[in-house]
Structure formats: structure tokens, C-alpha cells
Amino acid sequence: MASSSLTAQVSCGTQPSAPSFSGLRRTCPMLDAAVSFSHQSFCNRVNSSIRLVSSSHRSPRGVVAMAGSGKFFVGGNWKCNGTKDSIAKLVSDLNSASLEADVDVVVSPPFVYIDQVNSSLSDRIEISGQNSWVGKGGAFTGEISVEQLKDIGCKWVILGHSERRHVIGEQDEFIGKKAAYALSEGLGVIACIGEKLEEREAGKTFDVCFDQLKAFADAVPSWDKVVVAYEPVWAIGTGKVASPQQAQEVHVAVRDWLKKNVSEEVASKTRIIYGGSVNGGNCAELAKEEDIDGFLVGGASLKGPEFATIVNSVTSKKVAA
Ligand code: PGA
């Protein structure tokens, strides 16, 4: 997207002037900048135009503060961690954890342990690959095909994770093609987007996220099995979690982008989850935000009880008894 103007990127109805966004503008580089009143009112305006769309789709399950109509979704990305023994312990902890019913729960073990996890983990939790090849398998040394992921029991794949983008060098278009292929074979896709620190400080958060989103949108034929994970790179594995307001303002913008560029129905139904230093202590506050439909969790997903706490943060969206 060419323009970095927030007003050009996010519709704001009759909003006459540029809103003040915490941490997203060139003039406001501090990550922990306070959220201004004008930002709040701007978000409310964007929210209210989306609420009109989503309210008719909202499920009647006694959950409030939820802009989208999709079920809460929590994924555990184990990355390149674990041994047979540590994974047996983690699976055992997950099997004995008590998990709220109205949450989709997925874990993503390293490829070599997927079979072990699939044969020992409760059916309550689905399994995801951490990556997949862009097309049908064959002579692609070191790659794992979508067909193989399905064969070994995966229902999902994480694509576009920042470590694949920025460490391995995967590009937007390639990631979009991977998503299209995985969906065509029936896997669900956890489609990751997110800006680097210098991009946020340069006021380019929305440019980056929307470009990454567009690459998915250009490639995928349907959003039915896509979950969008907003994961600011500066928050991943750093212990520096986005504030609930920082996450919410990007999530609402992503939902608005989907509404304008895909459809109102997709904007309402698509889960937009947050990732980046989510843990048992900060998940409840994040989950209260209307457009945060769950989490993608790295480090804290390696501890069964803490991951269960994060799954169960759905309760902070529910009406108090
Ligand atoms: P983190 O990782 O929770 O360790 O920050 C999140 C992710 O990379 O998905």
C-alpha cells in the first residue's frame, strides 16, 4: 500500500482529521505511549461501523466484548523446542488441564515430534505444522508437504511467522501461495502478520500489516479456514508484550481492512488473534479487548498449566455472573 497516512488506510466515516494513534505515528515512537482520548474515540468510530456488521452474526453464547463472531482461538507455537521427554511431559500436562469449552485449541510441535504428540495428546486439542511447502511434495530437500502434514494428523499450519519472514527470508507472495495451497488441501491456516520495531517507529505499522494481509487476500480463494495472527515482531520472544490498546488498535484496523477489501462477512467471521510475549499474567487483560479473538503463544505454550491459563482467558470476555 503506497500511502502511510492512517486516514487513507483506515476508514473513519466523517472523521475530519488524522487521529492520534499510540505508537503508530512517526511523532510517537515510544511503544508504551499513552493512548490518547482521540485515539479511543477514533477506535470507537471504526468499531461501531464494524459492530453493525458483526452483531447480526454474533453467537448467543453469553460472551460480551467480542467484535468478531468467531470462536476464541488459542494456538501454542512450540517452535524449535523440546525433546521426546519434555514433550511427553507437556502433553501429559495438557491432557490433564481443564480447558474452557468454547475455545479452539491448537498446538504446533516441531515436525519430528508431531507423530508422538498426535498419538498421545487429547483429541480436544488439534495439531498444526509450523510451516509447509508451497505445493505438492517432491524433490524439495528439507521441506514438509501439506499432504504429509495431513497424513500425520495436522489440521492447521502456521504460515508467515516472523521467524520465517525475517530469519529465513520468506516473501509475502510466496507465503500467500503457501496459504492458498494449504487451504486447497483442506488445512486451516494461521496467517501471521506484524511489523518490526523500526517499522512501528517509522509510522509504518499499518502499511506493513496491510501489505502482508493483502498478499494472503490476493492468494486465498476463501477465508473460511484462515485465522489471522497479529504478531508485532518487537513483541515476539522479547517479554515486551503489546499493551491491550496497542494490540486492539491494530486488530480493529485489520478487521476494517478485511471489511473493505474482502467482505463484511469475512471481517466478522475471521478470528484475529494476538501473539508476542503473551503469558499467564497478561492474557486476561488482552482478551478483554473486543477485537482480540485469541492468542498465538510461543514461550508460554511450553508450560502446560500456563498455556491452559491462556486458553481459559476466554472467561474474561464473559458476562460477570
Ligand atoms: P512468544 O512467541 O510468545 O514467545 O513471544 C509468539 C510467537 O512467535 O508466536
pLDDT at 145: 98
Tell which wins on pLDDT, 235 or 56: 235
For ligand 1, atom 7, the nearest C-alpha belongs to 298
Does residue 75 carry a pLDDT above 80?
yes
Q: Is the CB of 193 under 6 A from ligand 1?
A: no
Q: Is the CB of 192 under 6 A from ligand 1?
A: no
**Mind spelling out the 3-state secondary structure of the chain?**
CCCCCHHHHCCCCCCCCCCCCCCCCCCCCCCCCCCCHHHHHHHHHHHHHHHHHHHHHCCCCCECCCCCCCCEEEEEECCCCCCHHHHHHHHHHHHHCCCCCCEEEEEECCHHHHHHHHHHCCCCCEEEECCCCCCCCCCCCCCCCHHHHHHCCCCEEEECCHHHHHHHCCCHHHHHHHHHHHHHCCCEEEEEECCCHHHHHCCCHHHHHHHHHHHHHHHCCCCCCEEEEECCHHHCCCCCCCCHHHHHHHHHHHHHHHHHHCCHHHHHHCCEEEECCCCCCCHHHHHCCCCCCEEEECHHHHCHHHHHHHHHHHHHHECCC
In percent, the amount of the chain with pLDDT more than 90 equals 77
Split at pLDDT 50, 70, 90, the class of 261 is very high
Split at pLDDT 50, 70, 90, the class of 90 is very high
Q: Is the CB of 77 under 6 A from ligand 1?
A: yes
The alpha carbon of 276 and the centre of ligand 1 are apart by a number of angstroms equal to 5
The alpha carbon of 14 and the centre of ligand 1 are apart by a number of angstroms equal to 38
CB 68 within 8 A of CB 100: no
Tell which wins on pLDDT, 98 or 31: 98
Q: What is the mean pLDDT of the chain?
A: 85
In percent, the amount of the chain with pLDDT more than 70 equals 79
Digit-coded pLDDT (tens) for 142-158 = 999 999 999 999 999 99
The identity of residue 148, as a single letter, is: Q
Does residue 38 carry a pLDDT above 70?
no
Does residue 91 carry a pLDDT above 70?
yes
Does residue 43 carry a pLDDT above 90?
no
Digit-coded pLDDT (tens) for 50-69 = 333 333 344 444 455 678 88
Mark 133-170 as b/e (b = at least 16 C-beta within 10 Å): bbbeeeeeeeebbbebbbebebbbbbbbbbbbbeeeeb
pLDDT at 66: 79
Does residue 255 carry a pLDDT above 80?
yes
From the list 170, 201, 231, 289, the catalytic residue is 231
Q: Is the CB of 203 under 6 A from ligand 1?
A: no
Q: Which atom of ligand 1 is nearest to the CA of 163?
A: 8
CB 59 within 8 A of CB 69: yes
The arithmetic mean of pLDDT across residues 182-192, rounded, is 98
Does residue 37 carry a pLDDT above 70?
no
pLDDT at 68: 87
Digit-coded pLDDT (tens) for 159-179 = 999 999 999 999 999 999 999
Comparing 21-35, 127-141, 215-229, 230-244, the range with the smallest average pLDDT is: 21-35
pLDDT at 65: 63
Q: Which atom of ligand 1 is nearest to the CA of 235?
A: 5
